[in-house]
Structure 1
Amino acid sequence: MTLDSLLLVVVYLCVQLFANKLISSSAVGRFKWLSFSGGVAVSYVFVYVLPSLHKEQARFAETQGLTMESELYILGLFGLLIFYGVHKAAERAQHTHLEGEGHFFWIQIMFFAVYNMLISYIIFASDIEGIEAVFYGVAVGMHFMAVSHDLWREDSKRYESLGRYVLAVGIAFGWITGVFAPLPSYMLAMVFAFISGAMILNVLKKELPSEENAHFKTFLAGSLGYTAITLALKYFFNW
């Protein structure tokens, strides 16, 4: 366990527990904050997640002697489909119940606790560290914040009373297992592929601001700014 990983998990836990207070108390404004966060998340998907998935697929096919060359992409598709099913079930539950999503809200919380755990596990079980880990960790922290805010909007009372703590436990458990019980590289690649599909869905569905809530200039600044910095750091540090 390194100091970097310890500091990063503390930041993630603070973001998860206090995301909505941070957003509501920010002088920037909720719409601008979420638009900027969405821009960073979209950039993260295209300049890190997709290239990393391609790299892992090539390594996975070579080490496992597979010829299809799309095994990890299929796992990513499964991740996307499963979480899309959760989203659709949540929408149906909202239309069925007059107040919130009924008992399904807790099922959704548990799904996202697992989601947080897997993302946290991938970050802390991988071999990236130092500035690279912190830089990519910032994008993930903003993603946690946006997902948390979306769940808070669905049922703020139950989210504040217990939901956010369940999600924080997911992050903590992912950190513990990632640091002390890392999987073999081929299994880590499979977990990464699955959660990448779910992340792509959540970024595009939950973090792209709707027309009435969007601040396009801030979204563009977050997206292009994060992309430019990522490409520069990759060039200078050979990430």
Structure 2
Amino acid sequence: MAVENIIVVVIFLFIQLFADKLISSEKIGRFSWLSFSGGVAVAFIFVYILPYLHDEQSKYGESSFRGLTFESEFYLLSLVGLIIYFVIHNIAVRAYYSTSRGEGQFFWIQIAFFALYNSMVAYTVFGSDVQGLQTVFYGVAIGLHFMAISHDLHREDAGRYKRGRYYLAGGILFGWIFAIVFTLPEIVLAITFAVIAGAMIFNVLKKEMPTEESAHLPTFLWAAFIYTVITEILKLLFNW
């Protein structure tokens, strides 16, 4: 069991359990944190998620079924992930407005989805062949992504979040343990990543991109720029 994996999973769990304490409640501090997280998340999408999808598509794109060659199946799987997230989000919103107990239903639908989402993300992180500095570096981006999600859930319903955060942390533990115990074929990992990528892209663009009212623009721009530059340098140096 790699030491860096243990470090990253501890960071993930700490973020899920204490996201509401990590981000300042003071307005300017909160906007700066969220703008920083959004900048890193957007950069992560374009310098890692999309290139990885391209590599997986190139790797498996020559496969065929009954003489038919599929040239965009991993992109289609990402689209499926995006649509699934969109549908679940809309079901949760409808639950919120449909009944007097809608607020609770809305929140727990989100918690259930993100617990599953966390387990799948953890599985792709710890089940892949990413090691060493690369694990820690990409773990930082995903950790900030988790922080933004948890903070958003906390702001929606602080009372229910106190219990819901344990389900979120449990999702990470499940994905980590599953990756340790089971060694699945690489194609399964690639498919899982493609589906999660779609959900992640939707979530980043819808919820993590700072709005005009809450954006701290210099922080967002610097975060996106610095993370992109560092990632590209590390890719060049270590052939990631």
TM range (shorter): over 0.9
* Residue identity opposite 1:85 in structure 2: V
Q: Measure, in 2, the Cα distance between the counterparts of 1:93 and 1:20.
A: 25
Partner of 1:125: 127
TM-score (normalised: structure 2): 0.94
TM-score (normalised: structure 1): 0.94
**1:5 to partner: Cα distance:** 0.6
Partner of 2:106: 104
**1:102 to partner: Cα distance:** 2.6
| Structure 1 residues not aligned, in runs of 5+ | none
Partner of 1:154: 156
Partner of 1:77: 79
- SS of corresponding position for 1:62: coil
Task: Give per-residue Cα distances to partners, 1:36-75, cap 9 Å, x unaligned.
Answer: 0000000000000000001011112235676121111111
Q: Measure, in 1, the Cα distance between the counterparts of 2:200 and 2:70.
A: 24
Q: Measure, in 2, the Cα distance between the counterparts of 1:81 and 1:110.
A: 17
Task: Give per-residue Cα distances to partners, 1:69-111, cap 9 Å, x unaligned.
Answer: 1111111111100101122223333334567623232122111
Partner of 1:204: 205
Q: Does 1:34 align with 2:49?
A: no
- SS of corresponding position for 1:101: helix
Q: Measure, in 2, the Cα distance between the counterparts of 1:128 and 1:9.
A: 14
**1:221 to partner: Cα distance:** 0.8
Give % identity. Answer: 57
Moved over 4 A (4+): 25-28, 63-66, 97-100
Paired residues of 1:60 and 1:189 also in contact (CA < 8 A)? no
| Structure 2 residues not aligned, in runs of 5+ | none
**1:226 to partner: Cα distance:** 0.2
Paired residues of 2:38 and 2:210 also in contact (CA < 8 A)? yes
**1:238 to partner: Cα distance:** 1.2
Range that drifts further, 106-115 or 27-36: 27-36
Partner of 1:8: 8
